[in-house]
Structure 1
């Protein structure tokens, strides 16, 4: 038997998963089948590649050597696929996104940057679904968010880059709300409000809101979960609800945006892509297009411009 790319992938998956069972699930095969495959690989390499340790299976010295070579080969094959695909404008670039504020300007910038290559775009309301479809090859690249310390696990074969490491979530409320005259808000002063829940419920947002409200001494009344943006804004303008919002969200008639004292809830924006279908050059083009789209919305609200200027450490890396 000669080693094939699938054998190298199996070795890498075992090392990354830390167990045969976990690797088998990732590869979509049974654990006995993977065990048998590993034994055949070990016969070719001339010795054991993994031993059972305190934290699952661990590579032997021979295993570490094979892993290093396997990762290099797989990386080169991924790069070859991405580079050749990047040279062809026949296949569309498939973009998945939930960051509606960012998306509004991203498409025009990407169209210009990619010299007319066709782009297909899907909007999702679940980060989990977005990431799963990226791993399955449904998308080539995704833009998504994480709230506070929540980290979205990414599948194998995916690379990611943080666009904005931290932005302060704020409150959108009716312009007629008694608290609208304040420059900023104490979270505790919103204890009696009806809240619009976040559309994305698996990015850490709901947990972050509930935890922050608990520290402020109350449990939020999460009454509405509405995807349609116009309907959300109409309810808020009518004074029937308030909502967490990104600070780059657009100005909406009848509503105002106010920052929270102490920034108890923050967001993070990331770009992730399949390294087998997106080249390093394309990933950089997409990153810069997304950064330009975000920066174009900094001045939507004066308080965010002031916060942004005071925190240069969170600015996108464009050098």
Structure 2
């Protein structure tokens, strides 16, 4: 019998379970069937792989050797399968731009610029509130570029497997109803909002924890945070139920104003990522340039942000940054 990948998976499952009975249950097999299969594998490898005892099984010296090799081979084969799937879904014929993004200000601008620069080339989009889900779509070959954000200096998802470039660094502003008592201030101290309810959009990064920490430093704990979709978030601010946390590039919206927080306690990095071995890598430089231009255009639409940037040169669109 030739050793196959499924045999290594069986050995790994038995070692992880610590007993043939538990392994058989996890694999959906009868225990006698798994025991027979193990004996065939052991004959093929030349000796017993496990000591069997009243309390379960433990690897023999030969078993340890095989398990060490399996720990290398099984992940390598899984990576090979992922890469094959990516290339199977890769571009065919004319290029295309498949964009995955969290809900932010840059996706629409990037689509517009790519459509204008590459007429006739398909541009498609996928959105999710989860940065990790968007990154996994790139790893699976289902989108070509991930457009996400991270709080402060926190690393992007799949940082060891995707290439990431920073597009811009924005402060986090606060959104207020236009007739809010603090709406006329150029800058607002966070502690002045201690009695407010808050609205924000969901995400799976550390932003919620960073916001709570900033409030703690300002001497209060947020009374209530509504984590909701963008339309509901804006509505809650418009009707005065909450103040909102928003990126500085948030576009002008009827009934609300955006204002910077004193001391910039929260910031947001806009990032774009791709898989280095995919066809997307061949056009990544151009796409990064278009995305940075889209951010510059978005920032210019906010007079509040434009005025703030004049005094804070370390923020805004970046020219060249590797994450």
Per the TM superposition, whether the score is higher than 0.5 is: yes
1:318, CA displacement in angstroms? 6.9
2:93 is aligned, of 84, 88, 94, to: 88
1:99, CA displacement in angstroms? 4.2
Report if aligned partners of 2:152, 2:269 keep a CA contact under 8 Å in 1. yes
Write the deviation string for residues 264-311 of structure 1: whole angstroms up to 9, x where unpaired: 001101100012223444111111111111111223332311332344
Measured on the aligned residues, the alpha-carbon RMSD in Å equals 3.0
Q: How does 1:1-319 map to 2 (within 5 A)?
A: 35-36=68-69, 88-89=93-94, 92-154=96-158, 156-164=160-168, 166-200=169-203, 202-227=204-229, 229-314=230-315, 315-317=317-319
Report if aligned partners of 2:144, 2:280 keep a CA contact under 8 Å in 1. no
Query: TM-score under structure 1 normalisation?
Result: 0.69
Report if aligned partners of 1:173, 1:242 keep a CA contact under 8 Å in 2. yes
Question: Looking at CA atoms only, which structure, 1 or 2, has the larger radius of gyration?
Answer: 2
Report if aligned partners of 1:113, 1:289 keep a CA contact under 8 Å in 2. no
Write the deviation string for residues 189-215 of structure 1: whole angstroms up to 9, x where unpaired: 111101113322x22210111010000
Report if aligned partners of 1:176, 1:239 keep a CA contact under 8 Å in 2. no
SS class of match (1:199): coil
Report if aligned partners of 1:99, 1:143 keep a CA contact under 8 Å in 2. no
1:156, CA displacement in angstroms? 4.9
Which blocks of at least 5 consecutive residues in structure 1 are unaligned? 1-20, 22-30, 41-73
SS class of match (2:221): coil
- Alpha-carbon distance in 2 for matches of 1:318, 1:112: 23
For 2:59, the equivalent position in structure 1 comes to: none
Report if aligned partners of 2:197, 2:225 keep a CA contact under 8 Å in 1. yes
Report if aligned partners of 2:258, 2:304 keep a CA contact under 8 Å in 1. no
Report if aligned partners of 1:193, 1:241 keep a CA contact under 8 Å in 2. yes
1:152, CA displacement in angstroms? 2.4
Write the deviation string for residues 108-159 of structure 1: whole angstroms up to 9, x where unpaired: 1012233432122011011121122222222211110011232223155421
1:104, CA displacement in angstroms? 2.0
SS class of match (1:178): coil
Report if aligned partners of 1:213, 1:220 keep a CA contact under 8 Å in 2. yes
Write the deviation string for residues 16-43 of structure 1: whole angstroms up to 9, x where unpaired: xxxxx9xxxxxxxxx9767326899xxx
- Alpha-carbon distance in 2 for matches of 1:181, 1:129: 39
Write the deviation string for residues 164-199 of structure 1: whole angstroms up to 9, x where unpaired: 1x2110000101111112111000011110111332
Count matched residues: 247
**Structure 1 residues 309 and 280: alpha-carbon distance in aligned structure 2, compared to 1, 3 A threshold:** farther
For 1:61, the equivalent position in structure 2 comes to: none
- Alpha-carbon distance in 1 for matches of 2:191, 2:232: 26
